[in-house]
Chain A
Amino acid sequence: MNIVVCVKYVPDAQSDRTFSDDKTTDRAGVDGLLSELDEYAVEEALKLVEAGEGEVTVVTIGPDEAAEAVKKALQMGADKGVHISDDAIHGSDAVATSLLLAEAIKKIGQPDLILTGMGSTDGLMNIVPTMVAERLGLPAVTLVSSLEVNGSTVTGRRDGDTASETIEASLPALVSVTDQTNEPRYPSFKGIMAAKKKPVETWSLGDLGVDAGQVGLNNAWVQVESFEARPPREQGQVVTDEGDGGTKLAEFLSTHKFV
């Protein structure tokens, strides 16, 4: 079974994240990494291929540094990588991102399964996986906490607040996985060394046959108008118990509508 995993290079959530002058995420000023939510998709792909046969290809879109996200996936055990990089892509929205990913997946060669994380830890658009599936005309099984492949079908479990759904789709299909799916492995030392010899192709817009007028900040359907840092959390309120602590606690909970 051949699997393509779509991954994203995101600013480290532990660092001070900011926006650039054009109101896009500042990627130069902070350390980046493979989005932690995508690690679950990579892990799931590796487990499926290890249990049978086939290849795992990871694909990412982003500036030069984004190759690090591909490398991390290769270190974990993926077989090859594709890095889509072109200055014209800067500032692309979910619509353009899904176009680029869909074209890249066609160029890689239709896989049996496309896996993605549940969303990126920076943009949080979460719609890209569904859009990619739509563009490729494939069934989308999103936000599953476990999945199983049997012959020509994939079955996933989606846990909601009140019920768990079991969803089945015929392959090829796209599946997005949550952070409940598995425990992603750490790259081993051998994996780090082996990754250096694995093939990574870098594709431009031209390679994908996508016109610059379809992507980029100026062609985005939505634009960030303004942004401001969330105010720091207010200091906690200390209730001194003078025999009426229980009452005060109940009042606090009810005035804040916690109960």
Chain B
Amino acid sequence: MFELTKDHEDFRRVVRDFAESKIAPHVEEWDAQAHFPSELVPQMGELGLFGLVVPEEYGGAGLDEGGFTYLCLAIEELGRVDQSMGITLSAGVGLGINPILTYGTDAQKQRFLPDLVSGKALAGFGLTEPDAGSDAGATRTRATLADGQWTINGAKAFITNSGTDITSVVTVTARTGEQDGKPQISAIMVPSGTPGFTVEPAYRKLGWHISDTHGLTFANCQVPEENLLGEQGQGYRQFLKTLDDGRIAISALAVGLAQACLDLSADYAKTRMAFGRPIGANQGVSFKVADLAVMVEASRLLTYKAAWLKDEHDAGRRSVAEVKHAAAIAKLYSTESAVTATRLATQIFGGNGFMEEYPVARFFRDAKILEIGEGTSEVQRMLIARQYGLVS
């Protein structure tokens, strides 16, 4: 059965210390300026955060098993202080490193992984388009092969870590032909700075201000034929295999957010006075704190159960179906709880909860995307319902 050991807690403590001393003092300023602190990424690399699921030969931890649970702990603890740095790690590993690690050739791995694992570089993954999200068949970006070069044309949307000053490569999905009347989707690696590859100005987002997110355009962008990642025509299928990890990671991010709301609310309820006593002396406030505690506990259990299943699956002891089901349940519950948690926390903070100088206001803005990214709540409900024979 799954449990968090002393090793897990030791690691959690280190990441928490790091987040509290290196991120917390600056987060309000970075959030206000939408500044991505790329100097933090190598420091996260030194802690080993990008290499938890990576073999030693590329600078990773080289664990035989169990690495994904550690990654979720790191994402949770970064997310407890700042959701943006949590998603930076989650996307950096799940979308940047994992596709190359899983599908790359030896040469591709040697070229990109050491810098990605050490935090000297970040990589992105471009799947979503202005008119194609979960419906990947609608992908419009095209890549044609001639004279040993792929020529890519099209646009991608909402691509995390794609435009930082240390981004080394973005893997994009593109139509590379047709198969049985359906578009054939392949994944191609496009190094930063390739002519014809333009990173659009950063989005103005509701939340996740510190996270680096851009639209990308490709205009006759040429890369060598060997930049194909994995098999031609398998781009979407390859991507689908990474979705379960991503959902559990987002769930961990949501746990960190709910935990922050609980910690901040409990403190505030004890120190903020009204009518001569702490506001927490009123059940209208204290019961909200109790509800937050229940949400945190339930979300955490669902998340780490799913992470444990994923590690067990990787070790060959559990089926992929179990992981998928647990990931959808964890993601749905944790993210919807996180949104509720920010609503309760800002309510407890009253007028101050609406002020940007209180972190609950930032968490309120940051929470919403959790119900959307890596499959919306509706997609999760659809997947869960299918387990009960309710096909939609």
Chain A residues near B (Cβ < 8 Å): 71, 75, 185-190, 192-193, 196
Contacts and interface: CB of A to CB of B under 8 A. Distances in A.
B267 interface: no
Contact of B17 (A186, A188, A189): A186
A135 B61 CA distance: 44
19 contacts: A71-B10, A75-B10, A185-B46, A186-B14, A186-B17, A186-B46, A186-B47, A187-B14, A188-B48, A189-B11, A189-B48, A189-B49, A189-B52, A189-B70, A190-B48, A190-B61, A192-B10, A193-B7, A193-B63
B248 to A, nearest CB: 19
Interface in B19-70: 46-49, 51-52, 61, 63, 70
Contacts of A75: 10, 14
Interface of B: 7, 10-11, 14, 17-18, 46-49, 51-52, 61, 63, 70
Contacts of A187: 10, 14
Contacts of B46: 185-186, 188
Given A75-B10, A196-B7, A189 B51 contact: yes
The main secondary structure of chain A at its interface with chain B is: helix
Contacts of B52: 189
A189 B48 CA distance: 5
Contacts of A185: 46
A186 B18 contact: yes
Contacts of A192: 7, 10-11, 14
Nearest to B63: A193
* Of listed B7, B14, B49, residue having the most chain A CB within 10 A: B14
Contact of B61 (A71, A186, A189, A196): A189
A185 B18 CA distance: 10
The main secondary structure of chain B at its interface with chain A is: helix
A86 B81 CA distance: 40
Contacts of A190: 48, 61
A146 to B, nearest CB: 22
A188 B7 contact: no
Contacts of B17: 186
Contacts of B7: 192-193, 196
A196 B52 CA distance: 17
A74 to B, nearest CB: 11
A147 B51 CA distance: 34
A189 B70 CA distance: 9
A190 B54 CA distance: 12
Nearest to B22: A186
A196 B11 CA distance: 13
A188 B47 contact: yes
A185 to B, nearest CB: 8
A131 to B, nearest CB: 31
Contacts of A196: 7
A186 B18 CA distance: 7
A189 B61 CA distance: 7
Given A188-B46, A189-B52, A192-B7, 18 more contacts: A71-B10, A75-B10, A185-B46, A186-B14, A186-B46, A187-B10, A187-B14, A188-B47, A189-B47, A189-B51, A189-B70, A190-B48, A190-B61, A192-B10, A192-B14, A193-B7, A193-B63, A196-B7
B23 to A, nearest CB: 13
Contacts of A71: 10
A185 B7 CA distance: 18
Contacts of B70: 189
Contacts of A188: 46-48
A115 B10 CA distance: 25
Contacts of B61: 189-190, 193
A190 B62 CA distance: 9
Nearest to B18: A186
A192 B46 CA distance: 13
Contacts of A186: 14, 17-18, 46-47
A187 B10 CA distance: 10
